[in-house]
Amino acid sequence: MIRTALITGITGQDGYYLSRLLLEKGYRVIGLVAPQRRNNIVKLGNLIEQIEIYPVALTDAVALLEVVEQFRPDEIYNLAAPSFVPDSWNDPLGTLDLITGSATRLLAAIHQLGLTTRVFEASSSEMFGQVDHAPQDENTPFRPMNPYAAAKLHAHWMMVHHRQRYGLFACSGILYNHESPLRLPNFVTRKVSLAAASIKLGLSDRLEMGNLQAKRDWGYAGDYVEAIWRMLQTNTPEDYVIGTGQLHSVQNLVETAFGCLDLDWTRYVSIDSKFIRSDEHFQLVANPAKAKRDLGWQPQMTFAKLIEEMVLTDLDRLRSGLIAPAVPQQP
Ligand code: GDR
């Protein structure tokens, strides 16, 4: 029996890696894209021929219900969401609707149709926010510090409530930062990899950064989609913390990226206060013991290898004119 998976946010970084994994496993993959972002399907590259794409706005409950009814998917992966945290301050209500509203509309569709569809929600380590201990696990209290994190937490609870009240197979992965060469350049890892490669090729001569002492638990997106898939293959729906358990500073990231290209980062990097955030905490680091024990999941990619791969990919892309060099950005 061919299994059908429906993925929202299919044109994002995780959408790509998850589609690739599911196609390898023989799934029929249905991808939803926001109608106004239809052109983004080019990001699926070589996978595009194998995925069935439908333009559906996640704000449209009727359209969502119809698409779920049409395909009656075995699994739904809800990856669509605004993901750049500082942007959520510009539109807290819109962020809430896109994140919480969309997850709730999906759950409502499954419930109304009486389906046994298994559903995954991409929750975030940002929900832990102002932590008082590290590392965090599934029992750590949530104290979100920005509208993005609050919206993610609301969606997270919606999954819990639908699981408990209606018996839906609904689970969330509390995902820590996960990166790849497909990351957009506003996120710090890709900003740094693109800048280092641009500087190496003489296409740029500076990099303006926020807080170099900020710390994150950075993993590889390709590893995280494996955990996501495994979560929907278990006997009982549960939530899992997914991260590497290793904290690195932004300075460490910069040193690693520039070091790959034999560049002395101190000659190029300056601090610009517009990239410094007041709403974050620097002890967000995972204890992924439950995922290791119950899912047999283990991240394969090291931090150094991940950053090297990102830097070398950007170097190649710049050399072949596939992308433009780094330019100073707005936060
Ligand atoms: P984050 O990712 O907000 O953690 O959310 P981001 O890469 O934007 O920031 C990581 C850390 O780096 C610090 N930082 C800078 N960040 C950016 N973007 N630009 C800079 O110049 C800079 N200088 C320092 C930040 O302050 C922060 O501490 C990501 C997203 O994928 C979310 O969607 C997801 O939920 C969380 O990870 C888990």
**DSSP structure string for 164-224:** HHH--EEEEEEEPPEE-TTS-TTSHHHHHHHHHHHHHTTS---EEES-TT-EE--EEHHHH
Give me the residue spans of the domains in the chain: 4-175, 184-217+247-284+301-320
For the Cβ of 86 lying below 6 angstroms from any atom of ligand 1, the answer is no
| Per-residue model confidence as pLDDT tens digits over 205-239 | 999 999 999 999 999 999 999 999 999 999 999 99
283 CB burial (10 A radius; 0-12, 13-18, 19+): middle
Cα–Cα distances in angstroms (integers) from residue 69 to residues 74, 130, 179, 215, 260, in the given order: 12, 40, 33, 43, 50
Residue located nearest, by CA, to atom 19 of ligand 1:
188
CATH 1.10.287.3510, domain 184-217+247-284+301-320, yes or no: no
| Per-residue model confidence as pLDDT tens digits over 155-180 | 999 999 999 999 999 999 999 999 99
pLDDT(325) > 90: no
For the annotated catalytic residues, the residue numbers are: 124, 126, 148
Looking from the CA of residue 124, the nearest atom of ligand 1 is: 35
4-175 has which fold?
A: Rossmann fold (3.40.50)
Residue 75 near residue 3 (C-beta atoms within 8 A): yes
For the Cβ of 176 lying below 6 angstroms from any atom of ligand 1, the answer is yes
* Whole-structure pTM value: 0.97
pLDDT(327) > 90: no
Q: Give bridge partners of residue 78 from the DSSP assignment.
A: 8, 121
For the Cβ of 76 lying below 6 angstroms from any atom of ligand 1, the answer is no
Same fold, 4-175 and 184-217+247-284+301-320: no
Looking from the CA of residue 215, the nearest atom of ligand 1 is: 28
**Rounded distance from Cα 247 to ligand 1 centre (Å):** 13
Cis peptide, bond prior to residue 135, ω within 30 of zero: yes
For the Cβ of 11 lying below 6 angstroms from any atom of ligand 1, the answer is no
Residue located nearest, by CA, to atom 28 of ligand 1:
214
